[in-house]
Structure 1
Amino acid sequence: MKKIGLRKIFLMLAFLSCASMSFGQEVIDNKDRAFTEIGYRQGTAYRTASGKPGPMYWQNQADYKIDVKLDEDNHTLSGSLTITYTNNSPEELDFVWLYLEQNRFTPDSRGTLTTPVQGSRYVGDLDGGYEIRNLKAQVVGRNKPVSDDHFVDDTRMRVTIAEPIPAKGGQATISMDFEYKIPEKGMDRMGRVKVKDGVIYAMAQWYPKVAVFDDVTGWNTDPYLGAGEFYLGYGDFEYKVTVPFDHIVVGSGELVNPGQVLTREQQRRMKEAAESDERVYIITPEEITDYENNRPKKEGAVTWHFKMNNTRDVAFASSKTFIWDAARINLPSGKKAMAQSVYPRESDGDEAWGRSTEYGKASVEHYSEMWYEYPYPVAVNVAAEVNGMEYPGLNFCSFRSKGASLWGVTDHEFGHNWFPMIVGTNERRHAWMDEGFNTFINYYSYLAFNEGEYTNNLKQTRRYINQLTNKDREPVVTHPDRLQPANIGMSAYYKPALGMIVLREYVIGPERFDKAFKSYISTWAYKHPQPNDFFNHFENAVGENLDWFWKGWFYSNATIDIAIDGVYPYGPNYVVSLSNHGQMPMPVQLEITYEDGEKERRTLPVEIWFKGNQWNHLLRTDKKVVAVEIDPEKIMPDINSANDRWPTSLYED
């Protein structure tokens, strides 16, 4: 190998430095832009600069008592509810905003009117919507005036109280009767479907619910359109569902009256399942239509009674078509929960929903062990005409899913119990904080399940280069309802998940990352973090200023392109000349190969780019270098792999 003189090396390095500044027209000057702060992140008494709830942090609470009846002939749900609303905020409240999400299913709803002509995933029926009657609201206390003053606008309803709800603990009650037609097409989140033995009702967004009043926005009243999901407070729920005698109901939370709705044999099987790591049938495939022997009543109606505390929502499913099985979930503390699955005969089989409970059990156990213990008594997977949708302790997944597809959707929807059910983010505005974080933790669940039975290629970040460089791409922080439909998957799910993979596996390291992420989850469990709370908490926990990462990956369309311009002998050592041809700086992990076959890894910090887009690294070694490569494991989504490796034509054999 022919060596080059030192003077020639200096001339080459100077040329490379100038070239990177002169010809890289899309390359930003890092010292001026990439490392500046992303925004105002100073702490307050409500949310600290260290990313924790402050000493004056508060959030309001809504507790629900609901009693409804399912009319299978007319496909309607009707009933009543009473909400006890506690105002923990520092200000009096003259009114309360509620969501009426079934009003999305009308011809003139904002969601309908903003659905593209060609349709989308979020299409819905047009013959639905709430009928509200007998609304009453009053502050809790003796002889307080009752108000029925309210108005409805699209999917929102404002209820005005006759006198303000006192600050710092004042309470009001809001009660009403309601009714609506259950949609067949419920925006791929709920609805009904006819199968061989009857109809499956997947019931979500099924009751009027209080909007969140917080210290950031006040009342959060963004309409329910489609891609934006939900932002809900926490409270205690008690709900009763009256259905035809032959129906089976599964729901979020604890079934508190099994003796009234299950036969003695079914109760025995339920107890057996609670102690079994293998699935136990509550209703076998052969028993689906044998209503005479497998229902405690033979006619009329039956009421199923559920309770769930400290939750942001509840959902349920009802049908006479269900196979039902269950198994024990083992939690790190020694507590137990129960995985359950209900599905029609079309979905039966070991290649399909016969493994659903196995999947749900494994998923919940994994996330509980790796991140935060599962808090709910049940984890129910429901086969329905929904491709995948999550609610606390209960999922709806497609009754047609099988094999790897069923594992993937089941694991993803159960993962949502951590984001946004436990960590109560605002999905309607910040989809990446639930979909992205969930997609990230799904990757490790795939690795853990059954010794990698199913594959997940998320860590192979360069598979996504086409999407990361698409000219129509949009930043991660774009509100979901404002994203172009083609960008939802990348901006809300995959790009934030890829960013977390890069942080964990490349920038921070698994040990530091995991401690920080677990701390974030436990700190904001059952609370409402904003994006800045996550950024602040994570930085404080890992001890790094990551403004450059948040800004480049989440707030912009910046790309990564780190290059090796050359490797030159420098006395007894070498100089590795590096350039940043992208818009985003990154630490540089180098793998050096020596003539004797030994390989060594060295990492250069992101601060090498503080003063510009070119850096010369002095590689001190007494061995002969034969190759240098950036990011040998290809974790960093560098858009140009061709310039990641040396040797180059500067050397001659």
Structure 2
Amino acid sequence: MKLKSFILGVTACASTVYAQNHQNNPGSNHGNKFEQLGTILPTPNIYRTASGAPGQGYWQNRADYDITAYLDEDNRKLKGSETVTYYNNSPDQLDYLWLQLDENEHSSINNSGYSASSKLPKHMNSENLKSSELPAADNGLGVNLEKVTDAEGNPLKYVVNKTMMRIDLPKVLKKGEKYTFKIDWNYNISDRMKYGGRGGYEHFPEDGNDVFTMTQWFPRMCVYSDFQGWQNHQFTGRGEFALVFGNYKVSMNVPADHIVAATGEGKNYKDVLTSAQFERWQQAQNASEPMEVVTLEEAKKAEKSKSKARKIWHFEATDVRDFAWTSSRKFVWDAMRVTIPENNNQVMAMSLYPKEAYGLYRKFSTKAVAHTIKTYSEFTIPYPYPVAQSIEASNGMEYPMICFNFGRTEKDGTYSEGTKNGMIGVIIHEVGHNFFPMIINSDERQWSWMDEGLNTFVEYLTEEKWDNKFPSRRGPAHTIVDYMKLPKDELEPIMTNSENIIRFGPNAYSKPATALNILRETVMGRELFDKAFKTYSKRWAFRHPEPADLFRTMEDASGEDLDWFWRGWFYGVDPVDISIDKVTVATPDFDAPAKPFERKYTVDEPEVNAFEDISKIRNRAEKIQFEVDKDKSLQDFYYRYARGQEEVDTKKEYTFKADVFENVSAADKAKLQNMKAYQIDFTNKGGLVMPIILEFTFEDGSKLRDKRAAQVWRHNEKNVSLTYFFDKKLKSVQLDPMKETADIDTTNNFWGEVPAPTSKFQVFKQKQGPSARGAGRGTLNPMQAAGKKK
């Protein structure tokens, strides 16, 4: 494997698991965490500069595709033919080309061969219980190559290695030259609900129809780059894709009553839609509210007709890295126009969904699509494409201009709060992938976090602007604590190859998203961060960025030295755990007896954040107008429930207990009339250096805050002391009061009353109780309990 790890300025050997966090002075209590990344990062060159920008010699290859596809619905088989024109813009001579045959993931004989450890099961489905076939028998899945030729029809020599295909060129392809070749292929479409994966079909036994999601469905060019050469790592189903940009012309031959959606723009809607549908499509292009192009009634009728006639749909897409499509007679289709203010781009926001999702998708999906591309445009680059759409397909996956997401109601039309918020969240996430990595085109096969982590971060910003009460689960610092508490031998750095990550979700999604949010809110501040992040997005739009390009750009555009941050959060597994160990006062001390605090709370309360995080507070202070307040039609049952406008009977109670302290005596208050010096001693127990954020609470109820940058630890990475002078009595000190740093142990973050000078300083622990959100699986959801359906 050619992992992107740099040691002494050169590419590391294949056995290296991740980009290593080399330390200059590992036996010392300083001189490690604040050293520059130095040789950990690749040496700048004419292709990628030390500033993080593309260099004067930057290049990337491209590929244009002309594809025809035939969907055999009865046999669930796809037949395709493609003409590929590959442009060599590199300074290198190429004597072969590599393509991806991702559908071989489902083959029992041509898959990547990456096995996982297995043990005796505790229970087993009888349908899956059979003797192990050694060697494995062919299950009939995977790509069948019918013909591979040059532009004139002459056979080309090729080799298939599992999920990769090498075409040997008749002659060397030199810099500035292009080469055209053709491939005919077919494969049996897999049952996505049985085999998993991103593409396939889902069968609906109630009406006997299928929804086809055609993804990774054609042989696709691998990336040949300045930093790696060919990216031809095998596709295991986890590490996603490294792809080149190009232009697409695609024709799909499908049953005549199917509705097709795809990457790009439909070029013959007038020919494939009914006259009424085409008229609605034209009206939708000027609509400010979603309107149905294909109605629910038409979709229900089509479910029963099952035409044997055929229609051919034509789509074209420019400057995209991939192409996906969907086809079914079950689809309702709604659409509206969205204007992107930053570039005045007119975008068709659309959704397609079966009747099973109508109660949720019709109300929320297209508006969530519109909100997403507008918000991402604010934080990254203006959305450049003509279409953005969400397809309900019982899963979540992304492609240029099209994505697949879940969101179905119960049979009675109700839905849980978790289903609604989960659907909105996944639509925002998958539509957001248009920016990362569809436009800012990182290598997902190597660095999942550059795709999922960056996107999850902007997803969080977008959720925050959707509804100030939205229960974001990834992004706020306090939400990553449980993961970072795990033993270090169960963790790996963010800078780890996709295939080697154990807990993929926290590592590739949550931790990098949290790190970026902390960088924005706590380390850099919004203004500096947003400028730098937009600079990165602009620099690498329609290009192939690597981690160093992000790290260097964020520093270059902000003037902040962040190497300590990248070291700690991206190259290490240390958690944040800063403790207040001791407070020493230069005048007589005081103390007071502890007073217990008790609070009752119940489960199944409205699904809002368990903690009012700093982003929500600042968003309100900036008087952001939230989407649910601008558009009253989004204010459903759960909107009212979260605001106390709906009553639901909740029964089970829990008790939260913590220790607090009584006010000091009058005699002690008199002693506080003079200035006092307070020395606070801290220990970095977790190992990850972070800013020290303190909230001082005084006896008169007033508060003061102070934040010392992480560099306070630079001379001693384990212990520091800070001394403050106050002329009024200090009652308590709270470390990280807004839970901004992801501290894994908040029980040592609070300091209460000062003891007498001759006595030992006491540290009181702060206890936390569990939060409760929404209704559990199989329970009555709040909407049902209240007897409401909207």
Q: Give the TM-score normalised by structure 2.
A: 0.74
* Alpha-carbon offset, residue 482 of structure 1: 1.4
> 1:37-59 CA distances to partner (integer Å, 9 max, x unpaired)?
34134311110011010010000
Task: Look up the equivalent residue of 1:382 and give its one-letter code.
Answer: I
**Residue 330 of structure 1: aligned partner:** 339
Of 470, 474, 480, which residue of structure 2 is paired with 1:454? 470
Q: Which residue of 468, 492, 496 maps to 2:508? A: 492
- Given that 1:566 and 1:650 are in contact with CA atoms closer than 8 Å, whether structure 2 keeps it comes out as no
Displacement after TM superposition at 1:538 (Å): 0.9
| 2:729 paired residue number | 624
Alignment-mate amino acid for residue 546 of structure 1: L
- 1:423 has 2:453 as partner: no
The answer to whether residue 750 in structure 2 is matched with residue 645 in structure 1 is yes
Preserved CA contact (<8 Å) 2:101 2:218: yes
- Quote the Cα distance in structure 2 between the aligned partners of 1:334 and 1:155: 41
1:466 alignment counterpart: 482
Distance, in Å, in 2 between the alignment partners of 1:527 and 1:378 is 21
Is the 1:283–1:324 Cα contact (8 Å) retained in structure 2? yes
**Aligned equivalents of 1:266 and 1:107: distance in 2?**
43
Residue 503 (str. 1) matches residue 522 (str. 2): no
Aligned pair partner of 1:588 in 669, 692, 699:
692
Cα gap change, 1:533 to 1:577, in 2 (>3 Å)? same
Residue identity in the other structure for 1:446: E
- Contact kept? 1:105, 1:112, Cα under 8 Å: no
Counterpart code for 2:399: Y
Identify unmatched segments of 5+ residues in structure 2.
1-25, 122-127, 129-137, 410-418, 587-674, 760-790
Distance 1:456 1:30 in 2: 37
- With normalisation by structure 1, the TM-score equals 0.89
Please tell me the residue identity of whatever aligns with 1:76: K
Offset at residue 462 of structure 1 (A): 2.8
> How many residues are paired up?
610
3-state SS, counterpart of residue 420 of structure 1: coil
Q: Which digits, 9 at most, give the CA deviation of each residue in 1:229-251, with x for residues without a partner?
A: 11101111111111111111000
Equivalent pair of 1:232/1:312 in contact (CA under 8 Å):
yes
Q: Unpaired runs of 5+ in structure 1?
A: 1-26, 139-143
Instruction: Kindly indicate whether residue 46 of structure 2 is the aligned counterpart of residue 45 of structure 1.
Output: yes
- Residue type at the aligned position of 1:438: N
CA drift of 1:643 comes to 2.0
- The residue number in structure 1 matching 2:61 is 60
Shift in Å, 1:616: 2.3
The change in CA–CA distance for 1:70 and 1:593 in structure 2 (over 3 A counts) is: same
Rounded to whole Å, the distance in 2 between the matches of 1:84 and 1:444 is 39
Distance in structure 2 (CA, Å) of the matches to 1:175 and 1:50:
41
- Aligned partner of 2:719 among 614, 635, 644: 614
Secondary structure in 2 matching 1:59? coil
Letter in 2 for 1:580: N
Q: What do the CA deviations read for 1:179-205 (whole angstroms, capped 9, x no partner)? A: 111111263311101124411100000
Residues 637 and 521 (structure 1 numbering): CA distance in 2 closer, same or farther, change over 3 Å? same
Q: Please, which of 476, 479, 491 is the counterpart of residue 497 of structure 2?
A: 479
- Whole-Å Cα distance in 2 between the matches of residues 573 and 94 of structure 1? 74
Q: Residue 344 of structure 1 aligns with which residue?
A: 354
1:468-522 CA-to-partner distances (Å, cap 9, x unmatched) read 12121222122121122xx011111111111111111111111111111111111
Are residue 148 (structure 1) and residue 156 (structure 2) matched? yes
Out of 198, 204, 228, the position equivalent to 1:217 is: 228
Following superposition of structure 1 onto structure 2, how do residues 149-164 of structure 1 map, counting pairs within 5 Å? 149-164=157-172
One-letter code aligned to 2:49: T
| Greater mean deviation of Cα atoms: 493-502 or 461-470 | 461-470
Report the CA distance between 1:111 and its aligned residue. Answer: 3.9
Matching residue's letter, 1:518: K
Give the C-alpha shift of residue 126 in structure 1: 4.0
> 1:289-313: per-residue Cα shift (whole Å, max 9, x none)?
4459999xx7621110001111100
Distance 1:593 1:482 in 2: 46
Partners of 2:225 and 2:309 in 1: how far apart? 45
Amino acid at match of 1:71: D
* Structure 1 Cα separation of the partners of residues 368 and 461 of structure 2: 14
- What does residue range 340-379 of structure 1 map to in structure 2 within 5 Å? 340-349=350-359, 351-379=360-388
From the superposition, tell whether residues 399 and 191 of structure 1 become closer, same or farther in structure 2 (CA, over 3 Å).
Answer: farther
1:28 Cα offset (Å): 7.7
CA contact (8 A) 1:202 1:316 kept: yes
Determine which of 215, 219, 224 is the counterpart of 1:208: 219
The aligned counterpart of 1:175 is: 182
Structure of greater relative contact order (alpha carbons < 8 Å, 6+ residues apart): 1
State the AA in 2 paired with 1:189.
R
Alpha carbon RMSD of aligned pairs, Å? 2.5
Where does residue 561 of structure 1 map in the other structure?
A: 577
User: Secondary structure of the residue that 1:542 maps to in structure 2?
Assistant: coil
1:116-265 matched pairs, under 5 angstroms? 117=118, 126-137=139-150, 148-167=156-175, 169-185=176-192, 187-195=196-204, 196-197=206-207, 198-265=209-276
Which secondary structure does the structure 2 equivalent of 1:419 belong to?
Answer: coil
Within a 5 Å distance, the mapping from 1:295-306 to structure 2 comes to 300-306=309-315
- CA contact under 8 A between 2:35 and 2:563: conserved in structure 1? yes
> Structure 2 CA distance, aligned partners of 1:319 and 1:177?
24
Q: Which structure 2 residues correspond to residues 89-100 of structure 1 after superposition, within 5 A?
A: 89-100=90-101
Residues 131-152 of structure 1 show CA distances to partners (whole Å, capped at 9, x for unaligned) of 21231237xxxxx995511111
Moved more, 375-384 or 589-598: 589-598
Deviations 1:256-314 (Å, cap 9, x if unpaired)?
A: 1111111221121112212122110111111114459999xx76211100011111001
Change (3 A) 1:460 1:81: closer
SS, match of residue 557 in structure 2: helix
In 1, the alpha carbon distance for the partners of 2:750 and 2:366 equals 47
How big is each residue's C-alpha offset from its partner over 1:428-482, in whole Å with a ceiling of 9 and x where there is no partner? 1101111111111111211111x33532144543343221121212221221211
**Partners of 2:217 and 2:171 in 1: CA distance:** 29
SS at the partner of 2:248? strand
3-state SS in 2 of match to 1:189: coil
Shift of 1:623: 3.7
- 1:16 equivalent in structure 2: none
Distance in 2 (alpha carbons) for counterparts of 1:539 and 1:457:
28
